[in-house]
Each structure stands twice: as C-alpha cells, then as structure tokens.
A and B are shown apart, each in its own frame.
Chain A
C-alpha cells in the first residue's frame, strides 16, 4: 500500500469525483459528531430530570 496521490491538488480533485467524494465524507463525519453530541445531551437531560425528581421526593416525604 502506497500513497496514491502525488500532490495535494490531485488528492483534493479525486479524479473528477471531488463533488461526490467530499460531500459523502463531510456528511458522514458530521453525523458521526452529531450523534456524539445528541447522546451526551440526552444523558445530561436525563440526569437533570432525575435530580429534580429526587429533590421533589425529599421535599414531600
């Protein structure tokens, strides 16, 4: 296995497929990152809801 491109320009051009290759990679990585953010937000939300419930239970024994 060797590097298949001689210049950065060639790499970015992807033959004549730049307009299809880069959006595919960009979109995939975007959704990969978004899933991490959404999952973390979901845990943070569930934790703060759980804390509120616990506080309410302590107020009314």
Chain B
C-alpha cells in the first residue's frame, strides 16, 4: 500500500478541488436523511410514556449536541495535526470547524433549555452536563476570538491550535458528565456496547437524524474549507486556474 493519497491530503490545490467535488454528495445525502429523520421523529415515533410528545425535541437536541462534540473533536485533532506536522490544510480544517461548532453548541444549549423547562421545570441548572457544554461554547468563541486578534494567518493558526488542543480535555467531560456525576440530565439512550435504553421505533429516526446532521456538517465544512484554503494561498498559480 502506498501513502500517496495521504500526502495528497496536505496539498492545498488537491484538497480544494476534492472538497468542491465532494460537497454535493454530502449535501444531498444529508438533506434526504435529515428530512426522513425529522419526519420519523415528529410524526412516526410513538410518544414517550413519561414525556409525551415533548420528547420529540430529542430529534433536534441530540443531533445538535452530538455535532457540538464531534465538530470540536475534528477541530482539536486537525489543529494538533497542523501543529505537529506543520500542515496548512490541517489548520484550515480547524479554522473552518469553529463557526459551525459554535453555532450548533448554542442550538444544543437552547433546545436543551426548551427541553428542560417542561421536563425539569427549569430553563437552566448549573449541573456538570450543562456547565461543561457552556464551557464548550466559550472554547469555540475563545478560539475564534484568538484567531481574529492576529493579522498574520500563520501565527493565528499556531496560537489558536494550542487552545483547540488543550480544550479537547472538555469533550470527554461533557460526554461522561452524566455518568460520572449524578446529573439532572438523563443518561445516553444510545450506547455502542450495551443495550440501548430506547425503543426501536424511537431509535431509528434518531440514528437517521444523527447520520444526516453529521453529513450536513461534512458539506458545510467542505465549503468553508475551500474559503480557508483560498485565504492561505497568497500567490499560488493554481488559484488562477481554479478561479477561471
């Protein structure tokens, strides 16, 4: 097996073109899956025996909360790769992740609040899950603020990457907070290892939704990645070709 495909992923013109070609595939499959998932969640899934139809919020709350963590993981890993191997494209991926992740962390917090009010009787509690998720939002905002404070892209890449990498510590804290501490937030309904604690008719739309939102993130990331690559390539001749 050769590693040329891997090395090509460090080449800005190659990644720019690849991103352009892959975007419609991600976008259209995401659109189909999200529509199916949300229809299944809103209309086909049976009401919860305790939470009634209010539980349907989970079909937007869980995917956005999942995105908030998945996007941060991508951002942190890409930033680490950029720092260690000095790969420009990796820094571009990290920078492209931040605004997407921040916006969906805000949505996860807001839909969580709309979920909490009828189920717990409160919009907000300083429990470990909620507090660490709020910290996640601040990490995204700090990352973007730090980037914005540099004029030079290379220096912005390196400084913000350190913050992104350190902040990865928070990802398992958010995820396991409901296991480690006695949180008001319910535990995960889906596990990779054991039995899911959710009926199949409720689970299927949720999984479809999760996959749809993940592919949607891929599509938006690829579009933003092209912008980030263009910004980093100052005098490259290939840009003339790509823009023609």
CB distance from A10 to the nearest CB of B (A): 9
B45, B57, B204 — which one has the most chain A CB atoms within 10 A of its CB? B57
Minimal beta-carbon separation of B75 from chain A (angstroms): 15
A40 in complex: contacting residue of B34, B111, B223, B243, CB < 8 Å: B223
Q: Give the interface SS of chain A, mostly helix, strand, loop or mixed.
A: helix
* Contact partner, A24, options B44, B115, B201, B243, Cβ 8 Å: B115
Contacts of A1 in B (CB 8 A): 40, 44-45, 201, 204
A6 to chain B, nearest CB (A): 12
Note all chain A residues with C-beta closer than 8 A to B47. Answer: 4, 15
The reply to whether A54 and B240 form a contact with Cβ atoms under 8 Å apart is yes
Interface size class of A (residues with CB under 8 A): 35 or more
Q: Are A42 and B111 in contact (CB under 8 A)?
A: no
Q: Known contacts A17-B54, A43-B226, A50-B243: does B103 contact A28 (CB below 8 Å)? A: no
User: How distant is the Cα of A7 from the Cα of B111 in the complex, in angstroms?
Assistant: 26
- Asked if B93 is at the interface of the complex by the 8 Å CB criterion, the answer is no
Contact with B along A41-54 (1 / 0, CB 8 A): 01101110111011
Among B111, B117, B230: residue with most chain A CB under 10 A: B230
Question: On chain B, which size bracket covers the interface?
Answer: 35 or more
Q: Hey, which chain B residues are within 8 Å of A24, CB to CB? A: 57, 60-61, 110-111, 114-115
Given A25-B38, A36-B220: A14 and B114 interface contact (C-beta under 8 Å): no
Main secondary structure of the interface of B (DSSP, over half): helix
> What residue of chain B has the Cβ atom nearest to residue A42's Cβ?
B227
Contact status of A21 and B103, CB under 8 A, knowing A1-B45, A3-B43: no
Tell me the bound Cα distance from A50 to B242 in angstroms: 11
Nearest CB in chain B to that of A3: its residue: B43
* Pick from B99, B201, B243: contact of A51, CB under 8 Å: B243
| Nearest CB of B to A61, in Å | 12
CB of B227 within 8 A of CB of A35, answer no
Q: Which residues of A contact B201 (CB under 8 A)?
A: 1
B145 at the interface (CB under 8 A from A): no
Q: In the docked arrangement, what's the CA distance between A32 and B118, Å?
A: 25
A23 touches B234 (CB 8 A): no
Smallest Cβ-Cβ distance to B103: which chain A residue: A31
The 4 residue pairs across chains A and B that have the minimum distance between CB atoms: A17-B54, A15-B53, A46-B230, A46-B227
